[in-house]
Structure 1
Amino acid sequence: MYPVSKEYKKAISESSRSFFWTGKITTKQGKEYLFDNKDIVKGSGYISRQCSGSSEIELGSVYAAELGISLFSNVDRYSLEDAKITLSFHLEVEDNTYEEVPMGVFYVAEANRKIKTLELKAYDAMLNLEKNFNKGLSSAFPYDFLSLLSKACHVELAQTKAEIEALTNGAELLGIYQENDIETWRDFLYYLAQALGCFSFIDREGKLRLIPYGANENKVVDSRHRYTSSFSDFVTRYTAVSSTNKKTEIAEYYSVKPDDGLTMNLGVNPLLQFGLEEKRKQIINNILTAITVVNYVPFESDTIGDPALDLGDVIKFTGGHADESKRSAITSINTKINGKQTIKCVGKNPRLANAKSKNDKNIAGLESSINENKLSIYTYVNALKIDLAAEKTSIINIEFASGDETNAEFHGEVILDVKSKSVARNIKAETTLEIGDESKVISLPVNWNEDGKTVLTAYYVLDGK
């Protein structure tokens, strides 16, 4: 939930409220156009966000938020290509004092001109991630991967390195299995967020954020603030995950006891293939721990609305036919500008999905994708520069598996940029001059700097020994 003041929370919970909307369009040339309530065609504006599909909760989702709005404006539609739109909600919290809640940063995808109005459709910066993925990447820590994504796609990160490392598996070294279906950075983010037990979205400031599902209550919605509401008669909860191991071609099953809930299928995640068996189990069990937090009642409700609500916020409903002992998480928000807000939580029924999830336990694996007489060449490049110092540092780590008899060659090349400290040298030259019966000693000091030396010791480790 977007951080707001106590006065805002009090005002938004009242039966009536005073508010207005404002926005700004900034073209690529830097020209700005401001608009407010009087410029917005009544009933035309909406902001739609989601972190799951239409039927079940997802891990790793990378959905883009959508803005649609019609304005009474004479702005040239051709000048709005990739223009930036910012939108804000203003709520009166005291007499003539308004608190602003930013509603996001969007980029124009379509601009259609009518006689008096301009229709705009825009999306957030998640679409910036539709850039070709760097296939040369091999392994890195999650924050390092995100930093590379940020630079490649020009999307700022909302979280610090410490905040990413605090997430599930956030401090683990992850490797990319090269036989994968990753084509864009958005595809890669899906697998990375899944490995971290999160979903990802672009926040209100236009920055990329990864958020896990939670259990702590963020807001109470009573019957006074609901136009309509529908609640399921079951609780969506997960007690197992299934992940396919490409090396063994087996769908591995991890669960907690009692195993009487849904199974989250992680599929073939390229970031969960490398490492020792114990490490893989640890990483997937960490994901299992993160998903067992889900204990939500699916619902759909039309409400008066609170623009400060975010995806993943945990809601408690009171009054009417709501069960006040249960909680739900928002997986979809549709906010009408100057209108109502529809919030939703999706989820499957563990009783109906039980048979299917148990069948997942017995999946024998995938068909072999290795063809006979096939020559495959893979190249790997380290994601970031590696600084070598006195301690041993792993610079090339190869783990190889084959489903058939084959020959393999490994070639490694290490390009070094060595900078040694210069060494100061000095020497004193002396000579003796004899003139007649006299002799005289003349000394001349000589000083110079020369390149120092760096000793690099290389180790070859086989089978971890």
Structure 2
Amino acid sequence: MYPVSEAFLQAVQGNTRKYYWTGKITTAGGVEYPFDQEDIVKGSGYITAQCCGNSEIELGAVYAAEMGISLFLDIDRYTLEDAEVELSYHLRLASGAYETVPMGIFEVSEANRSVHVLELKAYDRMLRFDRAFNGFETIGTAYGMMALCSTACGVELAQTQAEIEALPNGSELLSIYPENDIETYRDVLYFTAQVLGGFFCINRAGKLEFRQYGETPVMEILQKHRFSSSFSDFVTRYTAVSSTNLRTQTSEYYALEEDDGLTMNLGVNPLLQFGLEETRAELCRNILTALSAVNYVPFDSDTIGNPALDLGDVLTFSGGQADAQQITCVTSFTVKIGGRQSLKCVGKNPRLSQAKSKNDKNISGLLNQIEAGKIGIHTFANASEYSIGETDVRIISIEFASKEENHVQFFGQVVVDVEAQAVEKSTQASGTVVIPFPSPGSGAAGNAGTEDGSSGMEAEAGDAEDGAAGEETTDISVDVSLPVTWTEDGKAVCYVTFELNNAEILLHHPVETWHSGKHILSLYYPIENIVPNITNTFNVYLRMEDGSGSVGIGDCIASISGQAMAAAAAWDGRIDIEETVGLFSVGGGLQGKSVTDVIAVETMELVQKSYSDTLTAKPKIGAFCRPVTLPVSGDSE
């Protein structure tokens, strides 16, 4: 329940009350249009919200609240795209003062205009989480998952990290792997709320709030406060949970000691698929502990209304056919502006659950559905080093097959250690040099002119020092221009060539320019119109100019992924042989480039195979004035 004063609770249950509604429309541009009770078309406004479906209690609910209203306002409906509407309820207390209760913030989805009336339909910020989830591998606590969704969708969190970690499973690490059926951030919230044993909703301040089902009543609704009501003759309670484990292809069952109630089926929760078996069991039992608080009598009632009531509030009813000893919960409500408030609690009869199996292990149909849309992937990692030079070197080769005609995607990442050719550069350096030059007739120059050499010899040492210190100099500036030459690191150019089924792809040739050092080369190519049921080969070649490069073992990783891909491509009996012959000369005049020789053997065995060949006779080339002996060797592993 929204926190209100005791005077409010007394006034809202009185035989008569005085109240009014106000609101404000704020456009995306920041323009505000306030309105009051007189601007609202009578009987047009409503707010409806729910945390469960129409038949049973749910865990992980992420329902959006809806608001509709008609206003006597002259506002251009085209300016209301992405506008927000805030509503407030004002109740007069016994003291004569009015207490205000905010009723929520809603974002306009439809705006219709008639001659005098503007009709609005809006939803709360839960719809923001309908954005596509990136699907990346994610590991974190429940609060981390909430913060991820909050940041990506622009909705603040109502609770702190400490508050979430204090909940059941709140401090446990949860994992999301790419193999899941999560499509939106709203799905992430759904599975996170399941793990925490509750549901998510948007509170009155527009923030994402997690709530649990409780056992403590917040208020009592008397018979005189109800226009109509209907109560079930059973109590909905849960004593077990079941969760599907895809790894073991079973539905695991966890129950209390006295298992005579309903079973909550958690389905295939991606956050409960990984980790130790003990950890999974502990998570499910914590969920069961939180769920065991559900002990509610389903009901449906029209009341005089208390706008402070929220989803998940526990109530008691007394008078008439109500049982004052039992509790119930608000799983949905509808507030009419200026009218009644409808409250509802859903639930199933535990006695009817005995007719169905609680531990259904036959999930083959579910698995078949997952398998039909499963993304297949073929990966590659180099097991040998590559030296990149002026000729094309194949660094990636992936064989794949598809069961049906579709398209796949190639991704690759290569770490290349580049050594660029040094570049010599020169220029002309100019500047001014200052040279100090002694002035004529001073210091040593004056002593040199003394005719009496003996008197100079008899001079005291102190006089000589004074003479040296007293010399005068003149600075002379000289313009100097000198040639300067230096060597610096150059730039190597790397060319990428894609090849599909021995046919070069001409439309796309990535090029990178690098200085010396290690660099990451990221590659991508979409492959369209794959012919089904045949083996396809995708190759990637590298060559470099103005330098050389090397790719170490394991520094090249790549994959091809797509739907309906075969688990493995069968060997079609083809053997590819390449030969390498070192650089040689013929008669000192003709030269030939090196040729690569590689014999590849593909088997299904996890062992290394080696092959070698030896020529007993050395081949010779004639007709060049004299025979030329060629060195030949072959060895492949």
TM-score where L is the length of structure 2: 0.58
Q: Aligned partners of 2:236, 2:183: CA distance in 1, in Å? A: 32
- Residues 127, 92 of structure 1: CA spacing in aligned structure 2 closer, same or farther, 3 A cutoff? same
Please say which of residues 142-151 and 97-106 is displaced more in the overlay: 142-151
Secondary structure of the equivalent of 1:201? Answer: strand
- Residues 318, 278 of structure 1: CA spacing in aligned structure 2 closer, same or farther, 3 A cutoff? same
Q: Aligned partners of 1:146, 1:47: CA distance in 2, in Å? A: 26
CA contact (8 A) 2:145 2:189 kept: no
Deviation string, structure 1 residues 348-387 (Cα, Å, up to 9, x no partner): 011112222xx1314234346568x984369xxxxxxxxx
Equivalent position of 1:446 in the other structure:
none
**Where do residues 443-462 of structure 1 align in structure 2 (5 Å cutoff)?**
none
Q: Aligned partners of 1:362, 1:112: CA distance in 2, in Å? A: 49
Equivalent position of 2:208 in the other structure:
208
* Bigger RCO (CA 8 Å, 6+ sep): 1
CA contact (8 A) 2:136 2:178 kept: no
Q: Aligned partners of 1:198, 1:374: CA distance in 2, in Å? A: 32
CA contact (8 A) 2:136 2:177 kept: no
Residue 175 (structure 1) shift: 0.7
1:188 aligns with 2:158: no
Letter in 1 for 2:42: K
Equivalent position of 1:20 in the other structure:
20
CA contact (8 A) 1:334 1:341 kept: yes
Residue 96 (structure 1) shift: 3.1
Equivalent position of 2:93 in the other structure:
93
Q: Aligned partners of 1:250, 1:376: CA distance in 2, in Å? A: 25
Equivalent position of 1:78 in the other structure:
78
CA contact (8 A) 1:201 1:210 kept: yes
- Residues 113, 275 of structure 1: CA spacing in aligned structure 2 closer, same or farther, 3 A cutoff? same
Equivalent position of 2:105 in the other structure:
105
Q: Which has the higher strand share?
A: 2
Deviation string, structure 1 residues 394-425 (Cα, Å, up to 9, x no partner): xxxxxxxxxxxxxxxxx999xxxxxxxxxxxx
Equivalent position of 1:64 in the other structure:
64
Secondary structure of the equivalent of 1:187? Answer: helix
Equivalent position of 1:115 in the other structure:
115
Q: Aligned partners of 1:114, 1:47: CA distance in 2, in Å? A: 22
Equivalent position of 1:10 in the other structure:
10
What is the Cα-based RMSD across aligned positions, in Å?
Answer: 1.9
Residue 152 (structure 1) shift: 0.4
Residue 257 (structure 1) shift: 2.2
CA contact (8 A) 1:60 1:198 kept: yes
Q: Aligned partners of 2:272, 2:286: CA distance in 1, in Å? A: 12
Deviation string, structure 1 residues 81-106 (Cα, Å, up to 9, x no partner): 11010000001113430000000000
Equivalent position of 1:361 in the other structure:
359
Equivalent position of 2:347 in the other structure:
347
1:376 aligns with 2:377: yes
Residue 156 (structure 1) shift: 0.3
Secondary structure of the equivalent of 2:182? Answer: coil
Equivalent position of 1:336 in the other structure:
336
Q: Aligned partners of 1:158, 1:138: CA distance in 2, in Å? A: 23
Letter in 1 for 2:258: P
Q: Aligned partners of 1:137, 1:217: CA distance in 2, in Å? A: 41
Equivalent position of 1:146 in the other structure:
146
Residue 181 (structure 1) shift: 1.3
Secondary structure of the equivalent of 1:136? Answer: coil
Q: Aligned partners of 2:318, 2:131: CA distance in 1, in Å? A: 45
Letter in 2 for 1:124: D
Q: Aligned partners of 1:376, 1:272: CA distance in 2, in Å? A: 24
Equivalent position of 1:281 in the other structure:
281
Equivalent position of 1:442 in the other structure:
none
Q: Aligned partners of 1:236, 1:76: CA distance in 2, in Å? A: 49
Q: Aligned partners of 2:228, 2:305: CA distance in 1, in Å? A: 12
Secondary structure of the equivalent of 2:290? Answer: helix
CA contact (8 A) 1:168 1:197 kept: yes
Deviation string, structure 1 residues 163-221 (Cα, Å, up to 9, x no partner): 11111201000011432211110011101111110100000000000111000111100
Deviation string, structure 1 residues 418-440 (Cα, Å, up to 9, x no partner): xxxxxxxxxxxxxxxxxxxxxxx
CA contact (8 A) 1:177 1:273 kept: no
Equivalent position of 1:166 in the other structure:
166
Q: Compare CA radii of gyration and give the structure with the larger one.
A: 2
- Residues 118, 255 of structure 1: CA spacing in aligned structure 2 closer, same or farther, 3 A cutoff? same
- Residues 346, 7 of structure 1: CA spacing in aligned structure 2 closer, same or farther, 3 A cutoff? same
- Residues 77, 375 of structure 1: CA spacing in aligned structure 2 closer, same or farther, 3 A cutoff? closer
Q: Aligned partners of 1:108, 1:377: CA distance in 2, in Å? A: 46
Residue 55 (structure 1) shift: 0.3
**Where do residues 115-134 of structure 1 align in structure 2 (5 Å cutoff)?**
115-134=115-134
Structure 1: 4+ residue segments shifted above 6 A: none
Equivalent position of 1:231 in the other structure:
231
Secondary structure of the equivalent of 1:159? Answer: coil
Q: Aligned partners of 1:85, 1:4: CA distance in 2, in Å? A: 22
Equivalent position of 1:305 in the other structure:
305
Letter in 1 for 2:211: I
Secondary structure of the equivalent of 1:9? Answer: helix
Equivalent position of 1:49 in the other structure:
49
CA contact (8 A) 2:200 2:211 kept: yes
CA contact (8 A) 2:137 2:178 kept: no
Q: Aligned partners of 2:272, 2:34: CA distance in 1, in Å? A: 47
- Residues 362, 152 of structure 1: CA spacing in aligned structure 2 closer, same or farther, 3 A cutoff? closer
Equivalent position of 1:246 in the other structure:
246
Secondary structure of the equivalent of 1:94? Answer: coil
- Residues 323, 78 of structure 1: CA spacing in aligned structure 2 closer, same or farther, 3 A cutoff? same
Q: Aligned partners of 1:177, 1:229: CA distance in 2, in Å? A: 47
Q: Aligned partners of 1:293, 1:313: CA distance in 2, in Å? A: 13
- Residues 114, 54 of structure 1: CA spacing in aligned structure 2 closer, same or farther, 3 A cutoff? same
Q: Aligned partners of 1:190, 1:370: CA distance in 2, in Å? A: 23
Q: Aligned partners of 2:27, 2:282: CA distance in 1, in Å? A: 48
Secondary structure of the equivalent of 1:169? Answer: coil
CA contact (8 A) 2:145 2:188 kept: no
Q: Aligned partners of 2:378, 2:240: CA distance in 1, in Å? A: 36
**Where do residues 373-412 of structure 1 align in structure 2 (5 Å cutoff)?**
375-376=376-377
Q: Aligned partners of 1:95, 1:297: CA distance in 2, in Å? A: 37
Deviation string, structure 1 residues 126-154 (Cα, Å, up to 9, x no partner): 00001111211321111111111111000
Secondary structure of the equivalent of 1:242? Answer: strand
Secondary structure of the equivalent of 1:376? Answer: strand
Aligned residues with identical type, % of pairs: 57
Deviation string, structure 1 residues 16-44 (Cα, Å, up to 9, x no partner): 11110000000011111011110000100
Q: Aligned partners of 2:45, 2:327: CA distance in 1, in Å? A: 30
Q: Aligned partners of 2:2, 2:360: CA distance in 1, in Å? A: 44
Which sections of structure 2, spanning at least 5 residues, go unmatched? Answer: 380-411, 415-637
Letter in 2 for 1:215: E
Q: Aligned partners of 1:79, 1:310: CA distance in 2, in Å? A: 32
CA contact (8 A) 1:178 1:270 kept: no
- Residues 167, 412 of structure 1: CA spacing in aligned structure 2 closer, same or farther, 3 A cutoff? farther
Equivalent position of 1:268 in the other structure:
268
Length, aligned pairs only: 379
Secondary structure of the equivalent of 1:267? Answer: coil
Letter in 2 for 1:229: S
